[in-house]
Structure 1
Amino acid sequence: MTNNKELQGTIVKALAGYYYVQPADVQAERVQCRARGVFKKRGVSPLVGDRVHYSMTDNGEGTVEEILPRESELIRPPVANIELAVLVFSVTEPELSFQLLDKFLVHIEHAGLDTVICLSKSDLTEAEGKLGESAREALQRVKNVYEPLGYEVFLTSASRSEGFDQLRDKLNGSLSVFAGQSGVGKSSMLNALVPGLSLETNAISDRLGRGKHTTRHVELIDIGHNGFVADTPGFSQLDFQELGIEDLGYCFREMRELSPSCKFRGCTHVHEPGCAVLEGLAEGTVDAGRHAHYITFMEEMKEKKRRY
């Protein structure tokens, strides 16, 4: 019998209690596995992205025997070993929510991942009238506020197949996660990145003004050149359960940079004298919108703590 330790692969899909493992040989077929009961006893769940050792059973299925150490772990979406987060937001339809963008960035910074911001439906900024104008303003704000913080910004249009070559180059050789507002066109983007993929897509619901969740489970998609993308369920909200209030400022890059210059250690950047962040806010070098979101998130976290 083959030694279990010799069978190694990556979980590329989790669905209905099964884990689908791609063997180290990428040409080999995926193996449908169950996880050993010992994981449940330890309170551990295998995640998509986990590198695992597995064994084969008599019926041609497999058993996940061991989860190898993780380099990173996201709770929502539940994915392991992600290196790059692609935050997908549309400039219009739905309108770009900067509060949600900042919330995603806080979680990604906390997870220690590299991040790029990808704006989909960029062709709609050319639309006539007020809608086009608000979209242009959103696009300008991303460039003025987020690029100076070091976030790389990609503009894409699935309908025109524009901007995907540069994005594909960025994704090559990495395990990436696509996340963002529901209804922004993540599935359309992945279809454009990987010809023949044909992920299910849904149009925006006009009545609700938000997208329907078209993705039902987390799955790694092979985009070639040793790159995988985790296609994840759409999110309309996130919470801060795994984040401490003291971690919040660290997750805003501008505050992380300025906080060593604050007068008081453990400065909350809200009311303290000699706060470098508040000085930057007064001078206009710290963005007022992001600082307002920071305070909103802090209040949200305090409220959660009071409730539990």
Structure 2
Amino acid sequence: MQEGKIMKALSGYYYVKSGSGTYRCRGRGLFRKQNITPLVGDDVVFETVGNEEGYIKEIKERKNELVRPPVANIDQVLLVFSATHPVFKPVLLDRFLTVVESKGILPVILFTKIDLLTEEEKEKIDGYMKDYREIGYTVIAASPKKNIGIGEILPLLEGKTSVVAGQSGVGKSTLLNCLRPDLRLETNEISRHLGRGKHTTRHVELLEVGGGLLADTPGFSSLDLQDIEEEELSACFPEMRRLMDSCKFRGCLHVKEPRCAVKEALENGEIKDYRYEHYLEFLEEIKERKMRLGR
């Protein structure tokens, strides 16, 4: 028996790296019966069959996992958002942030294609970057094609397992090619007619980049909030989380309750209107889900 980490999942095989090499493994039938799916990033025990083949016998306990993209044991998520083409949507970034925060994973926000902005667009994006930095997030403005921001990203990767996530067409593969030029990952330009990019990444794989492991993932356009309860949602917004204990009522949802510290901060301009509006939108979505499920 050997121990290793799943570095790639492709066509029903799991590529496990150990001290003695990389092995193409199958999962045991037991996992299917228990409704357990091995994920990229899993630490596993496996048995070799031949020189480079094997079977995964055990999946070690995960510290966290994401469903979309399917990755486990993550230290941080690099949320890549295009400053233009496709147009930046704060509600989508806040949805990503909410899901990542709910998993207890550190988010890092990367704005790409900043070299393509008009002066008016740049002023708007600069405003958003300022807002998110004030909340406490690490925000990096980057342009892989111009080699802007790469020097800020590389030190963040050292010794960590990171995930690159974001919509298709925002420049994730271009970013990875800049961080590690030998990868030569396929890239596609954004479709100006459709407003989105093609999915150039078709599987999840951990790559050795900057002294750490970095997962390239297929692009996706939305994330559901099915694992988050109403009472937990405000804890996924750091500026609200800091005020929760100051609300009069325990379990305050920060909507109509009296002496709500979050509402007071909103009125004072300490919480941005659009962040609070997104919070209400997500809260309503969670409530509607509970009603559908009869909970």
TM-score by structure 2 length?
0.96
Number of matched residues? 293
Distance in 2 between residues matched to 1:299 and 1:19, nearest whole Å: 39
Which residue in the other structure is 1:120 paired with? Answer: 112
Any gaps of 5 or more consecutive residues in structure 1?
none
1:230-245 correspondence to structure 2 within 5 Å: 230-245=215-230
Structure 1 stretches of at least 4 aligned residues deviating more than 4 Å after TM superposition: none
Give 1:293's match in structure 2, choosing from 269, 278, 281. 278
Measured in 2, the distance between the counterparts of 1:58 and 1:191 equals 34
The 8 Å contact of residues 207 and 216 in structure 2, kept in 1 or not, is answered as yes
Q: Which of residues 7, 13, 32 is equivalent to 2:8?
A: 13
Normalising by structure 1, we get a TM-score of 0.92
- Contact 2:78/2:108 (CA < 8 Å) preserved in 1? yes
- Does residue 165 (structure 1) correspond to residue 160 (structure 2)? The answer is no
The CA RMSD measured in Å over matched residues stands at 1.3
Instruction: List alignment gaps of at least 5 residues for structure 2.
Output: none
How do 1:1-308 and structure 2 match up within 5 A?
4=1, 7-25=2-20, 28=21, 30-58=22-50, 60-125=52-117, 127=118, 132-143=119-130, 145-225=131-211, 227-308=212-293
Q: Distance between the aligned counterparts of 1:201 and 1:75, measured in 2? A: 24
Shift of 1:139: 2.5
In 2, Cα distance between equivalents of 1:158 and 1:48: 26
CA distance in 2, matches of 1:216, 1:295: 34
Q: 1:10 is aligned with what amino acid?
A: K
The C-alpha deviation readout for 1:173-200, integer Å capped at 9, x for no partner, is 1100011122110000000000111111
Alpha carbons 2:239, 2:271 under 8 Å: kept? yes
Provide the rounded CA distance (Å) in 2 between the counterparts of 1:86 and 1:244: 25
Partner SS state of residue 153, structure 1: strand
Q: SS of the residue aligned with 1:147? A: helix
Q: 1:178 touches 1:231 (CA, 8 Å); kept in 2?
A: yes
CA contact (8 A) 1:95 1:135 kept: no
**2:145 match: secondary structure:** coil
Q: What is the CA-CA distance between 1:24 and the residue it aligns to?
A: 3.0
| 8 A contact 1:10–1:24 mirrored in 2 | no
Identity of aligned residues (%): 50
The alpha-carbon deviation at position 134 of structure 1 amounts to: 2.5
* 8 Å contact kept, 1:91–1:139: no
Per-residue deviation at 1:60?
4.2
* 1:156, distance to aligned residue in structure 2 (A): 1.0
How many angstroms apart in 1 are the aligned matches of 2:238 and 2:49? 49
**Quick one: distance in 2 between partners of 1:24 and 1:274?**
58
2: distance between equivalents of 1:60 and 1:172? 29
